[in-house]
A and B are shown apart, each in its own frame.
Chain A
Amino acid sequence: MIMDVFENLFGLFRTKTDKYGGLWVKRFNISKENLDTCNGVAKPDPKTRTCAICVALNDTVFHLANRPRLSRHLHCKCEHMQEQELNATLDFDMRKITHYLFVHPSKAGLIESMGYTIEDALEVYNAIAANALARYAEGDYELDVLNCNGQHIDIEIALPGKREKVGHIYEFYTGWIAYPHGKLKNATPFAGWKEKEA
Protein backbone atom coordinates (compact mmCIF):
# COMPACT_ATOMS: atom_id res chain seq x y z
CA MET A 1 0.00 0.00 0.00
CA ILE A 2 2.73 2.40 1.00
CA MET A 3 4.79 1.29 -2.00
CA ASP A 4 1.83 1.98 -4.26
CA VAL A 5 1.68 5.51 -2.95
CA PHE A 6 5.41 5.95 -3.56
CA GLU A 7 5.11 4.48 -7.04
CA ASN A 8 2.23 6.74 -7.84
CA LEU A 9 4.15 9.72 -6.57
CA PHE A 10 7.22 8.68 -8.52
CA GLY A 11 5.10 8.18 -11.60
CA LEU A 12 3.65 11.64 -11.18
CA PHE A 13 7.13 13.08 -10.75
CA ARG A 14 8.41 11.23 -13.80
CA THR A 15 5.52 12.46 -15.90
CA LYS A 16 6.21 16.00 -14.81
CA THR A 17 9.92 15.83 -15.52
CA ASP A 18 9.25 14.18 -18.88
CA LYS A 19 6.78 16.89 -19.74
CA TYR A 20 9.10 19.71 -18.80
CA GLY A 21 12.44 18.13 -19.54
CA GLY A 22 12.65 18.48 -23.32
CA LEU A 23 15.19 20.49 -25.23
CA TRP A 24 12.54 22.05 -27.41
CA VAL A 25 10.05 24.73 -26.60
CA LYS A 26 6.85 25.55 -28.37
CA ARG A 27 5.77 29.14 -28.10
CA PHE A 28 2.03 29.54 -27.86
CA ASN A 29 -0.65 32.00 -26.86
CA ILE A 30 -4.43 32.07 -26.61
CA SER A 31 -4.96 33.06 -30.23
CA LYS A 32 -6.04 30.39 -32.69
CA GLU A 33 -4.23 32.24 -35.46
CA ASN A 34 -0.70 31.48 -36.58
CA LEU A 35 1.42 31.85 -39.72
CA ASP A 36 -0.32 28.91 -41.37
CA THR A 37 -3.84 30.15 -40.73
CA CYS A 38 -2.80 33.64 -41.86
CA ASN A 39 -1.28 32.29 -45.10
CA GLY A 40 2.17 33.53 -44.23
CA VAL A 41 1.41 37.11 -43.21
CA ALA A 42 0.45 37.37 -39.54
CA LYS A 43 -2.20 39.89 -38.58
CA PRO A 44 -3.30 41.07 -35.15
CA ASP A 45 -6.04 38.86 -33.72
CA PRO A 46 -8.75 41.21 -32.42
CA LYS A 47 -10.66 38.35 -30.73
CA THR A 48 -7.85 37.68 -28.29
CA ARG A 49 -6.06 41.03 -28.61
CA THR A 50 -2.91 39.30 -29.76
CA CYS A 51 -0.39 41.34 -31.75
CA ALA A 52 0.78 40.34 -35.24
CA ILE A 53 4.29 39.36 -34.10
CA CYS A 54 2.90 37.06 -31.41
CA VAL A 55 0.55 35.53 -33.99
CA ALA A 56 3.60 35.03 -36.26
CA LEU A 57 5.36 33.17 -33.45
CA ASN A 58 2.34 31.19 -32.29
CA ASP A 59 2.98 27.42 -32.25
CA THR A 60 6.56 27.78 -33.50
CA VAL A 61 9.18 25.47 -32.04
CA PHE A 62 12.73 26.47 -31.14
CA HIS A 63 15.65 25.04 -29.28
CA LEU A 64 15.58 25.92 -25.60
CA ALA A 65 18.93 27.69 -25.84
CA ASN A 66 18.18 29.57 -29.04
CA ARG A 67 14.69 31.02 -29.22
CA PRO A 68 13.05 34.40 -29.71
CA ARG A 69 12.71 36.43 -26.54
CA LEU A 70 9.53 35.45 -24.70
CA SER A 71 7.93 38.71 -23.62
CA ARG A 72 8.16 41.16 -26.45
CA HIS A 73 5.86 43.76 -25.00
CA LEU A 74 3.69 44.69 -22.05
CA HIS A 75 0.79 42.27 -21.46
CA CYS A 76 2.29 39.70 -23.84
CA LYS A 77 0.19 36.54 -23.62
CA CYS A 78 2.81 34.17 -25.00
CA GLU A 79 4.08 31.21 -23.04
CA HIS A 80 6.57 28.46 -23.64
CA MET A 81 5.87 24.75 -23.32
CA GLN A 82 8.75 22.35 -23.46
CA GLU A 83 8.50 19.47 -25.90
CA GLN A 84 10.12 16.07 -25.76
CA GLU A 85 10.52 15.58 -29.47
CA LEU A 86 11.09 17.76 -32.46
CA ASN A 87 9.14 16.75 -35.54
CA ALA A 88 10.93 19.03 -37.94
CA THR A 89 9.78 19.23 -41.53
CA LEU A 90 10.90 21.30 -44.49
CA ASP A 91 8.91 23.24 -47.05
CA PHE A 92 11.68 23.44 -49.62
CA ASP A 93 10.81 23.76 -53.31
CA MET A 94 13.20 21.67 -55.41
CA ARG A 95 12.93 24.33 -58.11
CA LYS A 96 14.87 26.71 -55.92
CA ILE A 97 17.78 24.48 -56.88
CA THR A 98 16.87 23.48 -60.43
CA HIS A 99 15.33 26.76 -61.60
CA TYR A 100 17.14 29.28 -59.44
CA LEU A 101 20.49 28.14 -58.12
CA PHE A 102 21.60 26.54 -61.37
CA VAL A 103 19.89 28.96 -63.74
CA HIS A 104 20.32 32.55 -62.58
CA PRO A 105 23.81 33.61 -63.73
CA SER A 106 24.92 35.09 -60.40
CA LYS A 107 23.85 31.99 -58.47
CA ALA A 108 24.95 29.47 -61.08
CA GLY A 109 28.44 30.96 -60.92
CA LEU A 110 28.55 30.34 -57.20
CA ILE A 111 27.37 26.75 -57.25
CA GLU A 112 29.47 25.87 -60.29
CA SER A 113 32.53 27.31 -58.54
CA MET A 114 32.03 24.47 -56.04
CA GLY A 115 32.28 21.92 -58.85
CA TYR A 116 28.55 21.19 -59.22
CA THR A 117 26.51 21.07 -62.42
CA ILE A 118 22.77 20.81 -63.02
CA GLU A 119 23.06 17.00 -63.02
CA ASP A 120 23.92 17.29 -59.34
CA ALA A 121 20.78 19.26 -58.44
CA LEU A 122 19.23 16.48 -56.38
CA GLU A 123 22.49 15.94 -54.52
CA VAL A 124 22.71 19.66 -53.68
CA TYR A 125 19.06 19.71 -52.63
CA ASN A 126 19.48 16.70 -50.37
CA ALA A 127 22.66 18.09 -48.84
CA ILE A 128 21.03 21.41 -48.02
CA ALA A 129 17.89 19.71 -46.66
CA ALA A 130 19.84 17.24 -44.50
CA ASN A 131 22.17 19.94 -43.15
CA ALA A 132 19.25 22.23 -42.37
CA LEU A 133 17.29 19.55 -40.49
CA ALA A 134 20.33 18.41 -38.52
CA ARG A 135 21.43 21.87 -37.49
CA TYR A 136 17.90 22.96 -36.64
CA ALA A 137 17.61 19.88 -34.44
CA GLU A 138 20.82 20.87 -32.65
CA GLY A 139 19.68 24.45 -32.18
CA ASP A 140 22.56 25.48 -34.42
CA TYR A 141 21.02 28.40 -36.30
CA GLU A 142 21.03 32.17 -36.10
CA LEU A 143 17.92 34.14 -35.37
CA ASP A 144 17.48 36.77 -38.05
CA VAL A 145 14.66 39.22 -38.76
CA LEU A 146 11.35 38.79 -36.96
CA ASN A 147 8.35 40.41 -38.59
CA CYS A 148 4.77 39.63 -39.61
CA ASN A 149 6.17 37.10 -42.09
CA GLY A 150 7.63 35.14 -39.21
CA GLN A 151 10.91 34.48 -37.46
CA HIS A 152 13.62 34.22 -40.09
CA ILE A 153 16.58 32.01 -39.25
CA ASP A 154 19.88 31.40 -41.00
CA ILE A 155 21.26 27.88 -41.07
CA GLU A 156 24.83 27.14 -42.00
CA ILE A 157 25.42 24.54 -44.68
CA ALA A 158 28.69 22.73 -45.23
CA LEU A 159 28.78 21.49 -48.81
CA PRO A 160 31.74 19.42 -49.94
CA GLY A 161 33.24 20.44 -53.27
CA LYS A 162 32.80 18.18 -56.27
CA ARG A 163 34.85 17.20 -59.32
CA GLU A 164 37.91 19.47 -59.49
CA LYS A 165 36.87 20.95 -56.12
CA VAL A 166 36.94 17.69 -54.19
CA GLY A 167 38.61 18.27 -50.85
CA HIS A 168 37.15 21.72 -50.37
CA ILE A 169 34.32 22.41 -47.95
CA TYR A 170 32.10 25.37 -48.79
CA GLU A 171 30.27 26.94 -45.89
CA PHE A 172 27.37 29.27 -46.52
CA TYR A 173 24.05 30.21 -45.00
CA THR A 174 20.57 29.32 -46.17
CA GLY A 175 17.56 31.41 -45.17
CA TRP A 176 14.44 29.85 -43.61
CA ILE A 177 11.24 30.97 -41.92
CA ALA A 178 9.97 29.18 -38.81
CA TYR A 179 6.41 28.01 -39.36
CA PRO A 180 4.19 26.36 -36.72
CA HIS A 181 4.92 22.90 -35.35
CA GLY A 182 8.57 22.67 -36.40
CA LYS A 183 8.13 23.40 -40.10
CA LEU A 184 10.85 25.40 -41.82
CA LYS A 185 10.00 27.16 -45.07
CA ASN A 186 12.96 27.88 -47.29
CA ALA A 187 13.37 31.53 -48.19
CA THR A 188 16.64 31.34 -50.09
CA PRO A 189 19.20 28.58 -50.60
CA PHE A 190 22.04 31.15 -50.64
CA ALA A 191 21.87 33.79 -47.92
CA GLY A 192 25.57 34.52 -47.51
CA TRP A 193 29.02 33.03 -47.07
CA LYS A 194 30.08 32.01 -43.63
CA GLU A 195 32.76 34.43 -42.56
CA LYS A 196 36.12 32.78 -42.05
CA GLU A 197 37.29 32.78 -38.48
CA ALA A 198 40.52 34.68 -37.91
Chain B
Amino acid sequence: MKYFDRVRVISDDYEEYGIKRGDEGHILLPEIRYGAFEFHREDPVTGMDDASAAVKVKDLELVIDYHATDEMILDALPLKNPAWPCKVENGFIVNLLGEKANKIAYDYDS
Protein backbone atom coordinates (compact mmCIF):
# COMPACT_ATOMS: atom_id res chain seq x y z
CA MET B 1 0.00 0.00 0.00
CA LYS B 2 1.53 3.32 -1.10
CA TYR B 3 1.21 6.56 -3.07
CA PHE B 4 -1.62 6.55 -5.64
CA ASP B 5 -2.93 3.06 -4.73
CA ARG B 6 -6.66 2.52 -4.64
CA VAL B 7 -7.70 1.55 -1.10
CA ARG B 8 -10.84 0.83 0.91
CA VAL B 9 -11.70 2.14 4.38
CA ILE B 10 -12.59 -0.63 6.81
CA SER B 11 -13.52 1.45 9.85
CA ASP B 12 -16.41 3.63 11.00
CA ASP B 13 -14.07 6.16 12.60
CA TYR B 14 -14.08 8.66 9.73
CA GLU B 15 -17.79 9.40 9.31
CA GLU B 16 -17.32 12.94 10.60
CA TYR B 17 -15.26 13.55 7.45
CA GLY B 18 -17.95 12.09 5.19
CA ILE B 19 -16.07 8.81 4.81
CA LYS B 20 -17.87 5.56 5.63
CA ARG B 21 -16.75 1.97 6.02
CA GLY B 22 -16.44 0.40 2.58
CA ASP B 23 -15.72 3.68 0.79
CA GLU B 24 -12.96 3.49 -1.79
CA GLY B 25 -10.52 6.16 -2.84
CA HIS B 26 -6.84 6.87 -3.30
CA ILE B 27 -3.70 7.77 -1.40
CA LEU B 28 -2.76 11.21 -2.70
CA LEU B 29 0.20 12.11 -0.51
CA PRO B 30 3.17 9.75 -0.39
CA GLU B 31 4.13 10.08 3.26
CA ILE B 32 2.67 8.27 6.27
CA ARG B 33 2.21 10.69 9.15
CA TYR B 34 1.49 9.36 12.61
CA GLY B 35 0.52 6.02 11.13
CA ALA B 36 -1.93 7.51 8.64
CA PHE B 37 -2.16 8.10 4.91
CA GLU B 38 -3.96 11.07 3.36
CA PHE B 39 -6.99 9.31 1.89
CA HIS B 40 -9.29 10.87 -0.69
CA ARG B 41 -12.69 9.27 -1.04
CA GLU B 42 -13.94 8.89 -4.59
CA ASP B 43 -17.60 9.56 -5.28
CA PRO B 44 -18.70 6.35 -7.04
CA VAL B 45 -21.14 8.28 -9.24
CA THR B 46 -19.12 11.31 -10.39
CA GLY B 47 -15.61 9.89 -9.93
CA MET B 48 -14.58 13.05 -8.10
CA ASP B 49 -12.54 13.10 -4.89
CA ASP B 50 -15.19 14.59 -2.67
CA ALA B 51 -13.86 13.95 0.86
CA SER B 52 -10.51 13.48 2.51
CA ALA B 53 -9.05 12.51 5.86
CA ALA B 54 -5.90 11.18 7.45
CA VAL B 55 -6.81 7.49 7.73
CA LYS B 56 -4.79 5.10 9.86
CA VAL B 57 -2.98 2.40 7.93
CA LYS B 58 -4.77 -0.26 10.01
CA ASP B 59 -8.11 1.10 8.75
CA LEU B 60 -7.22 0.71 5.07
CA GLU B 61 -7.02 -2.26 2.75
CA LEU B 62 -5.49 -2.35 -0.69
CA VAL B 63 -7.87 -2.59 -3.65
CA ILE B 64 -5.61 -1.88 -6.65
CA ASP B 65 -1.84 -1.52 -6.64
CA TYR B 66 -0.79 1.16 -9.10
CA HIS B 67 2.90 0.31 -8.75
CA ALA B 68 4.31 3.69 -7.86
CA THR B 69 8.09 3.30 -7.99
CA ASP B 70 10.44 4.17 -5.14
CA GLU B 71 11.92 6.90 -7.31
CA MET B 72 8.48 8.43 -7.84
CA ILE B 73 7.67 8.27 -4.14
CA LEU B 74 11.02 9.76 -3.14
CA ASP B 75 10.56 12.67 -5.49
CA ALA B 76 7.20 13.50 -3.90
CA LEU B 77 8.23 13.05 -0.25
CA PRO B 78 8.74 16.19 1.87
CA LEU B 79 12.32 17.41 1.33
CA LYS B 80 12.79 14.25 -0.76
CA ASN B 81 13.76 12.54 2.47
CA PRO B 82 13.92 8.73 2.11
CA ALA B 83 13.52 8.33 5.88
CA TRP B 84 9.82 9.23 5.69
CA PRO B 85 7.60 6.19 6.32
CA CYS B 86 5.77 5.76 3.02
CA LYS B 87 4.83 2.15 2.30
CA VAL B 88 3.00 -0.71 3.97
CA GLU B 89 4.50 -4.10 3.15
CA ASN B 90 3.60 -7.41 4.79
CA GLY B 91 2.16 -5.70 7.85
CA PHE B 92 5.03 -3.27 8.32
CA ILE B 93 5.20 0.47 7.77
CA VAL B 94 8.51 1.03 6.02
CA ASN B 95 10.54 3.84 4.53
CA LEU B 96 12.66 3.89 1.40
CA LEU B 97 15.73 2.89 3.40
CA GLY B 98 14.00 -0.35 4.30
CA GLU B 99 13.56 0.60 7.96
CA LYS B 100 10.44 -0.62 9.73
CA ALA B 101 8.35 1.68 11.91
CA ASN B 102 6.50 -1.07 13.81
CA LYS B 103 8.02 -4.11 15.49
CA ILE B 104 5.20 -6.65 15.16
CA ALA B 105 3.63 -7.34 11.79
CA TYR B 106 0.12 -5.85 11.41
CA ASP B 107 0.36 -4.19 14.83
CA TYR B 108 1.03 -0.69 13.60
CA ASP B 109 1.31 0.73 17.11
CA SER B 110 4.06 -1.68 18.19
Contacts and interface: CB of A to CB of B under 8 A. Distances in A.
Given A100-B26, A104-B66, A109-B47, A175 B52 contact: yes
Given A39-B33, A99-B68, A187 B38 contact: yes
B68 A193 contact: no
A11 interface: no
B49 interface: yes
Contacts of A149: 38, 54
A188 B28 contact: yes
A125 interface: no
Interface in B29-51: 29, 31, 33-34, 38, 40, 42-43, 46-50
B4 interface: yes
B33 A190 contact: no
A104 B47 CA distance: 10
Interface in B1-48: 4, 6, 17, 26, 28-29, 31, 33-34, 38, 40, 42-43, 46-48
Given A104-B6, A188-B49, A191-B48, A93 B76 contact: yes
Most A Cβ at <10 Å: residue of B17, B29, B52, B54: B52
A185 to B, nearest CB: 9
A175 B66 contact: no
B49 A175 contact: yes
Nearest to B50: A192
A41 to B, nearest CB: 5
Contacts of B48: 110, 172, 190-193
A106 B42 contact: yes
Interface residues of A, number: 25
Contacts of B33: 39-41
A49 interface: no
B4 A99 contact: yes
A103 B49 contact: no
B52 A188 contact: yes
Contact of A95 (B31, B52, B72): B72
A103 B66 CA distance: 9
B63 to A, nearest CB: 11
Nearest to A111: B47
A122 to B, nearest CB: 17
Interface in A70-126: 93, 95-96, 99-100, 103-104, 106-107, 109-110
B76 A41 contact: no
B98 interface: no
A63 interface: no
7 contacts: A93-B75, A149-B38, A187-B28, A188-B28, A188-B40, A190-B47, A192-B48
